[in-house]
Amino acid sequence: MNYVGPGPSLTHFYQVSDSEAVRGAQIPTRVAAMMVPIYRDKSKLPNLRSPFISPSRRPISLLSMVREKDICWEYAEKLDGNKVKCKFCQRILNGGISRLKHHLSRLPSKGVNPCSKVRDEVTDRVRAIIASKEEVKETSTVKKQKLTEVKSLGIASTPKALISMDAISPIMKVFPTVSPMASPSMNNQENAEKSIALFFFENKLDFSVARSSSYQLMIDAIAKCGPGFTGPSAETLKTTWLERIKSEVGLQSKDVEKEWTTTGCTVIADTWTDNKSRALINFLVSSPSRTFFHKSVDASAYFKNTKCLADLFDSVIQEFGPENVVQIIMDSSFNYTGIASHIVQNYGTIFVSPCASQCLNLILEEFSRVDWVSRCILQAQTISKFIYNNASLLDLMKKFTGGQDLIRTGITKSVSNFLSLQSMLKQRTRLKHMFHSPEYASNSSYPNKPQSLSCIAIAEDADFWRTVEECVAISEPFLKVLREVSEGKPTVGFIYELMTRAKESIRTYYIMDENKCKTFLDIVDKKWRDQLHSPLHAAAAFLNPSIQYNPEIKFLSSIKEDFYKVLEKLLPVPDMRRDITNQIYTFTKAHGMFGCSLAKEARTTVSPWLWWEQYGDSAPGLQRVAIRILSQVCSTFSFQRHWSTFQQIHSEKRNKIDRETLNDLVYINYNLKLAKQMKAKPLEVDPLQVDDIDMTSEWVEESENTSPTQWLDRFGTALDGSDLNTRQFSAAMFGANDPIFGL
């Protein structure tokens, strides 16, 4: 009779004869007693690797069948004997499929030379197979160890018994100097953090990844799986999960599309130039509920070809539906392509609008080019460079500021300049205390340096701080407008009022200095007139209840004409304009539902488009137009925060990633970031500020061959700017051909 005896795993059974079980294999009596009769059909045996049977006694046909089922045979050619031939490098290996796996895994183990021609996805697949098998061995080893501990209960164990029996993972074979075990003093929390840190360091991941919302979600999900969880392989990530998550994101966009028939949508065309000088056009679509990234197109070959660009934009408009698109926002890169004229001529109800944030950035950039403002910025940079290029001094500064940085990195150079001046002004007193502190004086590495003397002189200069205050006063109103339009929310109904209030703040501040007032207002008016003013902005302001019913607003009469032009464009057929005059009168006089108590209370507390949806029934024709206009954004700025997505994904070599996979990866990555941004509260994220300090900016990085007293050498002792060539300074400060937004 044949019997089955328990092998190393309770799920594996091995067939032996009576004589082998008792005599040859010398199975313990207790184990032999556990054997039970089985069928003689050997094809039903799940595993023949029994420690009780010599290889010569195992059926050869069944061993061959097991070998043939190993998926790694598709990468090798079986030769005579126990030899295999790698299909990639044609190397012949002794030892069968096991040595081939280590050959393909490219792990320096088992004395096998790594394959030099194997594809990356094959290597990842084979490594996953090896890791899973080692995990099974590890589980078996742990069970044996626990059984041994139970048997030897009460018996003193040797020091060797304390050694971990865990199998060595592939990463530990690659990095043998890293201990796979937690030290006795290391608890589970610390060990987990160490493992996560190793993952970041090994893969050169940006530390800011730990700030992402999906980071903690991932850790929580893995913790629920318990020990032994095996992560998806590179191949599974690239195929199965990429497709599944892309489909889920696409379904979310389909849900939002339903509102377009009522609110309309804005198509955003945002250009980006990579380090290979490719012109990439990123298309996004925005409506009140969400903003979605649509696709990225490489237009390098035809960016200046109006016909090709027109075909591209036509295809995008058709994908969204011309009847749904209210406006297309373009950056200044399209100014000379003729595409705006093409859209206006071919689509009667679609507006082409400038990017409000780009115009505001140009205003701030012009502010920073004014002589006395540029001098102030350079003096402030003298202090920041000295501090940030000395580690001990940087630590001392943070001690005095309570851990806060002295400077801020904005999304553009001009924004960085004024945010940093604002930050330095807040730290003025603490900065002075630091320079006069015993800690500063006792450190011989910097008190007597020429740079130190220059910084102390600037910090003690009352005129310098008055100038900083002035720079902050004139820039803050426009930074505020920039924040409002950069949150990705429908703000087209507010841009007119916000710009008007910002200009009024300049007039109020310079009420006693007409020359300076004129200097800055001329800059604002020129940019507003040439680049920002749009009839759609005026119409939105006219329809905004918080503006229409505000007695302090003085510009309503001046925007009426633009409002009527927009109505003519959106209501081209006479039947559509029937009774529109009476409806306008009902709205402006707050008759009907416009005058009810709820509508009055909600004028300044509810989004304008939603206010019209709730209380605009007294003017149904005007209501439809108002909702479509007031539901739009007026800026691409918030979406330009994610240019790093394209820089990272487009530029890196990702295992020779194909174009389709790359586009899917960009689609998912961008939309996940947009979703997080839309959910963030305004107080949590400053849309103008980057999380980390840019250590290559003019506020930190020392220029080559700088003089210790550079700020004195350049401006003279009086610092009156008489010897400053503005054009030369502009080139030195911003670059000879500095493009907008770093493009």
Q: What pLDDT, on the 0 to 100 scale, is given for residue 136?
A: 58
Q: What pLDDT, on the 0 to 100 scale, is given for residue 682?
A: 57
Q: Region 181-201: what's the mean pLDDT? A: 77
Q: What pLDDT, on the 0 to 100 scale, is given for residue 181?
A: 47
Residues 298 and 662: their CA atoms lie apart, in Å, by 13
Residue 560 pLDDT more than 50? yes
Q: What pLDDT, on the 0 to 100 scale, is given for residue 2?
A: 40
Q: Region 90-110: what's the mean pLDDT? A: 77
Structure tokens at 15: 């067939």
Residue 718 pLDDT more than 50? no
Q: What pLDDT, on the 0 to 100 scale, is given for residue 601?
A: 95
Please answer whether residues 134 and 169 qualify as being in contact, where contact means their C-beta atoms are separated by less than 8 angstroms: yes
Q: Region 251-266: what's the mean pLDDT? A: 89
Of the listed ranges 400-414, 461-475, 690-704, the one predicted with least confidence? 690-704
Residues 500 and 506: their CA atoms lie apart, in Å, by 10
With a pLDDT cut of 90, the percent of the chain lying above it is 38
Q: Region 721-731: what's the mean pLDDT? A: 31
Fill in the amino acid letter for 447. Answer: P
Strand order in the sheet with 3-6: 13-16, 3-6, 36-37
Listed residue (312, 310, 307, 309) closest to 295, CA to CA? 312
Neighbouring-strand partners of residue 283: 269, 295
Residue 156 pLDDT more than 50? no
Give 113's contacts (C-beta < 8 A, 6+ positions apart): 91, 103
Q: Region 105-118: what's the mean pLDDT? A: 72
Structure tokens at 373: 């403002």
Q: Are strands 279-286 and 291-298 parallel, antiparallel or unpaired?
A: antiparallel
The more confidently predicted of residues 412 and 675 is 412
Taking only Cα atoms into account, the Rg of the chain, rounded to an integer number of angstroms, comes to: 35
Of the listed ranges 257-266, 276-285, 324-333, the one predicted with least confidence? 276-285
Phi, psi at 269, each rounded to 5°: -110, 110
Residue 189 pLDDT more than 80? yes
List pLDDT tens digits, range 457-500.
999 999 999 999 999 999 999 999 999 988 888 999 999 999 99
Q: What pLDDT, on the 0 to 100 scale, is given for residue 406?
A: 94
Of the listed ranges 9-23, 544-558, 664-678, the one predicted with least confidence? 9-23
What Cα–Cα distance (Å) separates residue 102 from each residue in 71, 93, 95?
A: 14, 11, 11
> pLDDT-derived band of residue 159, with 50, 70 and 90 as boundaries?
very low
List pLDDT tens digits, range 385-396.
999 998 899 999
Residue 709 pLDDT more than 70? no
Residues 629 and 614: their CA atoms lie apart, in Å, by 16
List pLDDT tens digits, range 198-225.
888 888 888 888 888 788 889 989 988 8
In the DSSP assignment, the letter for residue 701 is: S
Phi, psi at 84, each rounded to 5°: -135, 155
Fill in the amino acid letter for 32. Answer: A
Please answer whether residues 537 and 495 qualify as being in contact, where contact means their C-beta atoms are separated by less than 8 angstroms: yes
The more confidently predicted of residues 179 and 563 is 563
Structure tokens at 227: 């020990």
The more confidently predicted of residues 446 and 193 is 193
Answering whether pTM is above 0.85, one says: no
Helix axes 428-435, 391-400, angle to 10 degrees: 130
Q: What pLDDT, on the 0 to 100 scale, is given for residue 119?
A: 81
Q: What pLDDT, on the 0 to 100 scale, is given for residue 111?
A: 62
Residue 691 pLDDT more than 80? no
Q: Region 714-731: what's the mean pLDDT? A: 32
DSSP 116-145: SS--HHHHHHHHHHHHHHHHHHHHHHHHHH
Q: What pLDDT, on the 0 to 100 scale, is given for residue 660?
A: 77
Please answer whether residues 689 and 419 qualify as being in contact, where contact means their C-beta atoms are separated by less than 8 angstroms: yes
Of the listed ranges 14-18, 350-354, 500-504, 611-615, the one predicted with least confidence? 14-18
Structure tokens at 2: 């044949």
Please answer whether residues 537 and 633 qualify as being in contact, where contact means their C-beta atoms are separated by less than 8 angstroms: no
Residues 669 and 723: their CA atoms lie apart, in Å, by 50
The torsion region of residue 313 among left (phi > 0), alpha (psi -120 to 50) and beta comes to: alpha
Segments in 389-449 forming alpha helices (H): 391-400, 413-426, 428-435, 438-442
Q: What pLDDT, on the 0 to 100 scale, is given for residue 737?
A: 37
With a pLDDT cut of 70, the percent of the chain lying above it is 73
Residue 267 pLDDT more than 90? yes
Fill in the amino acid letter for 276. Answer: K
The burial class, CB within 10 Å (0-12 / 13-18 / 19+), for 39 is: exposed
In the DSSP assignment, the letter for residue 499 is: H
Q: What pLDDT, on the 0 to 100 scale, is given for residue 171?
A: 47
Structure tokens at 524: 């604002």
Residue 738 pLDDT more than 60? no
Residues 249 and 669: their CA atoms lie apart, in Å, by 10
In the DSSP assignment, the letter for residue 689 is: B
Calculate the average pLDDT of the chain: 77
Q: What pLDDT, on the 0 to 100 scale, is given for residue 58?
A: 43
pLDDT winner (highest mean) among 3-12, 103-112, 612-621: 612-621
Of the listed ranges 137-141, 339-343, 407-411, the one predicted with least confidence? 137-141
Please answer whether residues 302 and 309 qualify as being in contact, where contact means their C-beta atoms are separated by less than 8 angstroms: yes
The more confidently predicted of residues 7 and 110 is 110
Q: What pLDDT, on the 0 to 100 scale, is given for residue 290?
A: 86
CA dihedral angle for residue 570, residue 571, residue 573, residue 577, rounded to 10 degrees: -170
Q: Region 7-35: what's the mean pLDDT? A: 40
> pLDDT-derived band of residue 161, with 50, 70 and 90 as boundaries?
very low
Where are the extended beta strands (E) located within 470-574? none
Buried b / exposed e along 209-242 (16+ C-beta atoms within 10 A):
eeeeeeeeeeeeeeeeeeeeeeeebbeeebeeeb
Buried b / exposed e along 94-117 (16+ C-beta atoms within 10 A):
eebbbbbbbbbbbbeeeebeebee
